[in-house]
Structure 1
Amino acid sequence: MNNNSIVKQITVLMLISIISFSLVACNDKDSSKVTESTEVGENAHGKYTEEITYTLGRLTVQNSKLPEGDTYENNAYTRYVKEKLNAVCVDAFEANGEDYDRQVSLAISSGDLPDMMRVGDKNILDELVENDLIADLTEVYDTYGSDYLKSIYDSYDGRALDTAMYDGKLMALPGTNVDSAPSEVWIRQDWLDKLDIIIDEDGNGCITIEELEMVAKTFREKDPGNSGNPIGIPLAYWLNSNDYGGSNHCMTGIANAFGAYPKLWLQDEGGNIYYGSTTKETKEALGVVKKWYQEGILDPQFGTRTWDDITALLINGQSGIVFGAWHIPDWLLNNIRAMDNNAVFSAYVIEDENGKANVFHNNASNGFIVVRKGYEYPELAIKIANIFYDEFANSKTLATDAPEVSKYHVDAVDGATRPFNIEINKYTSLLDDYSDIRRGVNGEIPIEEARTVESRVIIENVTKYLKDYENSNVTDWAKYHSRMKGVALIEKLTNEGTFNWVNPVFWGTTDTMKTNWANLEKLEEEMFIKIIIGATSLDEFDAFVNDWNKQGGAQIIKEIQETLK
């Protein structure tokens, strides 16, 4: 044997020894945190050998429906995480709405972040990254993320994860935001029947602007709700939304019918960026709403009503027309049904002059879960996500495996009571779930074959409603309306090719937006209100566009153009 052969053998033996030592060391390190298994699929749900804690910044809701004795910190969800992972939840702070945003800002300014928290604003996520306050989740996502969790994000073709990527690093776990278009107009069907009004005669699920105008005018004149003070259509003073989930009480559906997309950044065929609130189509839509105000078809107190005021108009029977997403029966229209046992709604979309439903794609992400830099167990965030967005979502034996959690689903306890107040769903999940629900209700599949626990619960809700709709409870009524009317309309329009999709090109924040956007939004809101109530003419819209450009709008467009390049 020559010297070269001896050297090669020694080198190989040394490499084997080093690799073996490294593997042992890695296993020893992992064993202090997770169960003995080193398979990624099993580690995705691995239980810590010793109890650990995780502190949370908790975004709450006004009506969580938590059972008596349960709290955000100690409930069926957090108890399951304790049982499954040996991890105990401690809420660092709890707050709702703007109060929560203030708590997040306080935590950032003091440098005292909880181990994990929800961030709703991309600007705040930018700030956390810039100040090196949160953990890089790239490695733990790759290692601990379940195959199904990863497939969810993959279904968005990178659009969701990209919103949390900085220099190739995943700095947060984004909530997903499936397309929920269109903004539907929900009309009291019991009132239409009472007044012998027939709309949508061809049954395509679409109505014209003229049909909507006729219904609103008739409701105001005939007062089918016996309120004594009927109004036509109530709209919120902010008028438009750049997300269908937030389009409730907005004129978004009206604007879309004119090919207008207020509050969105779009690109024309020549590659030029423009702002949807400044187009001639938006001007045309404002002209129609202005006309309605003049004729008494629009709420005469438009511009002064709060969200609660508008909701009260619907509950009191003063209006039977409301704009919103497919899911508003679950949390808004159910309040009307609770007060009026005869209330029945039908959902429509306003079509354009060509019979198309113009719609835009939502931002693919909605909220982010961040982990404090320096937290010892960053992989816990991924493990918790695996439980709620994979294990629970796909379990067919949840009632026996986690009876407390299953009862939460049945009792419609709000999802905000989970450790993470975000949703992570496949892009196709809305129609996938509806397909299961429809087939389950029709007896085409046994209920246990529905893919998700929620779908199986809703099949039961809808079945009970259909058996005795006159005496149905509010929850069964709401689930029937949201799925068998709201989502059914989306499925119908999708299958029939009625949707005309538009892709917004920018969802971020530029430098000038940071300093000028609040004033530009105020300028837009005030001008639109003045135009509608007649305080200024429709022709002043052109002057508004000029002012908007001069006060920073043109510079913002330039910055977006550069960013996209």
Structure 2
Amino acid sequence: MRKDYLFKRIAITLSAVMILSLAGCSGNNAKSNADSSTAKNDGKTAGVTQEAQTADGPFGAYPEEITYTLGRQTIQNPKLPDGDTYENNAYTRYVKDRLNAVAVDAFEANGEDYDRQVSLAIASEDLPDIMKIGSKDILDELVENDMVEDLTDVYNTYASDYLKEIYDSYDGRSLSTATYDEKIMALPGTNVDSAPNEVWVRQDWLDKLGLKVDEDGNGMITVDELKNIAETFMEKDPGSSKNPVGISLAYWLSSNDYGGSTYCATGIANALGAYPKLWLKNTDGSVYYGSNTEENKKTLGVLADWFKEGILDPQFGTRTWDDITALLTNGQTGITFGVWHIPDWLLNNVRAMDKNATFSTYVIEGENGKANVFHNNASSGYIVVRKGYKHPELAVKISNLFYDELANTKTLEKDYPEVAKYQADGVDGSTRPFNVEINKYTSLLDDYSDIKKGVDGEIAIEDARTLESRNVIQNVKRYLENTATDDVTDWSKYHSRMKGIELIDKLTRENSFNWVEPVFWGTTETMKSNWANLQKLEEETFIKIVTGSVPLNDFDKYVKDWNDQGGSQIISEIEATIK
């Protein structure tokens, strides 16, 4: 790919120019304002010393103050305290105190606006010193056009032992996505496996109806058991809604990441041996698309039968996300799907409406007696350093601070009380210099182990590894002391950890997971032009099959059309990339 492709990649329209002007400063402009930014952060006028030497060690401070410009991905409500900004807050002041490095935001933007800012910076060859990018496709472009620093040496020299342990815990699945010709060209954010897609069921309704679920206690229920629960809830209407709905699903049906599987039938499909929206490999080495298998055809057949019988929401295909949420909060449905943490931000709304609401969670059991699950993409976002920046090691040193020191210290409240208060008050993590997460593959269960021991009194609360775990222990203990509490936060932390993660821990300990490894997460040339249409074909066909608008056997025609409209070429490109 040549540089001129990057210029063709973006038509700098009027709206893009407006976005750029609203950003305030970009690249070199931000660098020229370094002195004034330093004064704002530090109360003095000392500027950047151009010949500042690199500090020694993973946590060593620079002998003279340096400045780094950032591409900053924001959110709408980060919960920053009055007077603090993305550029000047407890986290950036922590970096200044520890490393003598001052942040200057080259641009700040949210969502798609941030992606546009990144594209404009690339097209104009005016990158900030350090920047988060959202995908490997963008990283590919930056590397091919020699726009970012090779971080191999600085990673090997400056990464703390614990940061290296984090990446090593993924058995190469994360760091390898940022490695080109044995050169580390970015620091990937990590994405732990949060499998399975759990089915959350109103336990207070089960108790009210005397309905027994998971009598063998293995944490799994069958597809038929799920159907029976839905039928019983519809017949008895324990929520007294007068218009009960058995199971309501999002019209996109499945997700290729458990983090995005809320309201999806991913767990049902996995139980039936299907892995929609994933690229997988046959035993002969050939690649196939998980949506197009006989197992997924079977999944659609099951859902179509449920729709015909009235078990599946009669308005499937037209319900919005908010519509399904309303069914839950109004007491019309007591079954939903999602990852372990949906009590914290979704099911808490049910509890707020109904003080009696409690949930239990299960995984749908496969015919093999296992919970069929797939590995998430081990990388989520990348931190890159502009080619030519004098201190590429700074990206690694900042990572050491946030993903090692802050993650492991037990004296945060004493050493950095304003950082501790940020965490206790729930200030969003996007206010840190890097809006990515870098956690050990085992971090979810490691944290749960601390929480369980703290709740059971096996360790003192202050001995838990992280401040978040220490706070959750207190939430859970308060809930257990008063399960009728009006404190929705205590309720939600109990459900997400002692129900949601506890299920993952149990299934892991009992070797009940059957793992599948996807083989490709990127974008091929044909996908750039054809993928949107192929996704539309898939979505529309599957809705029609489930709702009975077309017969199940139309699935075979869909597969042929999918292949003819670019799918076969995409598979060939993926196979070539893998080889």
The answer to whether TM tops 0.5 is yes
Partner residue of 2:216 out of 178, 199, 202: 202
Deviation readout 1:475-520 (Å, 9 max, x if unpaired): 2222211111111101111111211111112222222222222221
Q: Are the equivalent residues in 1 in contact too, given 2:52–2:65 (CA < 8 A)?
A: no
Partner residue of 2:166 out of 131, 152, 155: 152
Deviation readout 1:117-159 (Å, 9 max, x if unpaired): 2212211111222222222212221221111101111111211
The residue aligned with 2:425 is 411
Q: Compute the displacement of 1:63 (Å).
A: 4.0
Q: Compute the displacement of 1:228 (Å).
A: 4.0
Mapping for residues 433-452 of structure 1, pairs under 5 Å: 433-452=447-466
Q: Are the equivalent residues in 1 in contact too, given 2:52–2:66 (CA < 8 A)?
A: no
Q: State the distance in 2 between where 1:124 and 1:564 align.
A: 19
Partner residue of 1:351 out of 354, 362, 365: 365
Q: Which amino acid aligns with 2:249?
A: L
Q: TM-score, normalised by structure 1?
A: 0.90
2:435 counterpart of 1:421: yes
Report the count of equivalent residues. Answer: 531
Q: Are the equivalent residues in 2 in contact too, given 1:187–1:322 (CA < 8 A)?
A: yes
Q: Which amino acid aligns with 1:95?
A: A
Stretch moving more, 529-538 or 97-106: 97-106
Q: Are the equivalent residues in 2 in contact too, given 1:512–1:555 (CA < 8 A)?
A: yes
**In structure 2, the residue corresponding to 1:302 is in which secondary structure?**
coil
**In structure 1, the residue corresponding to 2:357 is in which secondary structure?**
coil
Q: State the distance in 2 between where 1:266 and 1:437 align.
A: 36
Partner residue of 1:183 out of 197, 203, 227: 197
Q: State the distance in 2 between where 1:31 and 1:91 align.
A: 22
**In structure 2, the residue corresponding to 1:158 is in which secondary structure?**
coil
Q: Are the equivalent residues in 1 in contact too, given 2:213–2:221 (CA < 8 A)?
A: yes
**In structure 1, the residue corresponding to 2:105 is in which secondary structure?**
strand
**5+ unaligned residues in a row in structure 2: which ranges?**
1-48
Q: Are the equivalent residues in 2 in contact too, given 1:465–1:472 (CA < 8 A)?
A: no
Distance 1:128 1:31, change over 3 A: closer
Higher gyration radius (CA): 1
Q: Are the equivalent residues in 1 in contact too, given 2:476–2:494 (CA < 8 A)?
A: yes
**In structure 1, the residue corresponding to 2:527 is in which secondary structure?**
helix
The residue aligned with 1:5 is none
Q: Compute the displacement of 1:540 (Å).
A: 0.2
Distance 1:281 1:179, change over 3 A: same
**In structure 1, the residue corresponding to 2:382 is in which secondary structure?**
strand
**In structure 2, the residue corresponding to 1:386 is in which secondary structure?**
helix
The residue aligned with 2:9 is none
Q: Compute the displacement of 1:189 (Å).
A: 1.2
2:52 counterpart of 1:32: yes
Q: State the distance in 2 between where 1:275 and 1:537 align.
A: 22
**In structure 2, the residue corresponding to 1:100 is in which secondary structure?**
helix
Q: State the distance in 1 between where 2:241 and 2:54 align.
A: 63
Q: State the distance in 2 between where 1:406 and 1:416 align.
A: 16
**In structure 1, the residue corresponding to 2:115 is in which secondary structure?**
helix
The residue aligned with 1:13 is none
**In structure 2, the residue corresponding to 1:231 is in which secondary structure?**
coil
Distance 1:129 1:501, change over 3 A: same
Partner residue of 2:101 out of 81, 87, 98: 87
Distance 1:227 1:392, change over 3 A: same
Deviation readout 1:26-72 (Å, 9 max, x if unpaired): xxx9993345xx4xxxx212222333332222223344333344332
2:328 counterpart of 1:314: yes
Stretch moving more, 510-519 or 182-191: 510-519
Q: Are the equivalent residues in 1 in contact too, given 2:271–2:365 (CA < 8 A)?
A: yes
Q: State the distance in 1 between where 2:168 and 2:403 align.
A: 14
Partner residue of 1:291 out of 292, 296, 305: 305
Q: Are the equivalent residues in 1 in contact too, given 2:54–2:391 (CA < 8 A)?
A: no
Which runs of at least 4 in structure 1 moved beyond 6 Å after TM superposition? none
The residue aligned with 1:243 is 257
The residue aligned with 2:116 is 102
Q: Are the equivalent residues in 1 in contact too, given 2:251–2:317 (CA < 8 A)?
A: yes
Q: Are the equivalent residues in 1 in contact too, given 2:258–2:339 (CA < 8 A)?
A: yes
**In structure 1, the residue corresponding to 2:484 is in which secondary structure?**
helix
Q: State the distance in 2 between where 1:293 and 1:452 align.
A: 46
Partner residue of 1:57 out of 54, 71, 79: 71
Q: Compute the displacement of 1:102 (Å).
A: 2.4
Q: Which amino acid aligns with 1:311?
A: T
Mapping for residues 462-477 of structure 1, pairs under 5 Å: 462-471=476-485, 473-477=487-491
Q: Compute the displacement of 1:315 (Å).
A: 2.4
**In structure 1, the residue corresponding to 2:403 is in which secondary structure?**
helix
**5+ unaligned residues in a row in structure 1: which ranges?**
1-28
2:435 counterpart of 1:388: no
What is the aligned-residue RMSD (CA, Å)? 2.0
Q: State the distance in 2 between where 1:96 and 1:305 align.
A: 27
Q: Are the equivalent residues in 2 in contact too, given 1:392–1:453 (CA < 8 A)?
A: no
Deviation readout 1:413-462 (Å, 9 max, x if unpaired): 22222211111111111112211111111111222322222222221221
Q: State the distance in 2 between where 1:350 and 1:412 align.
A: 33
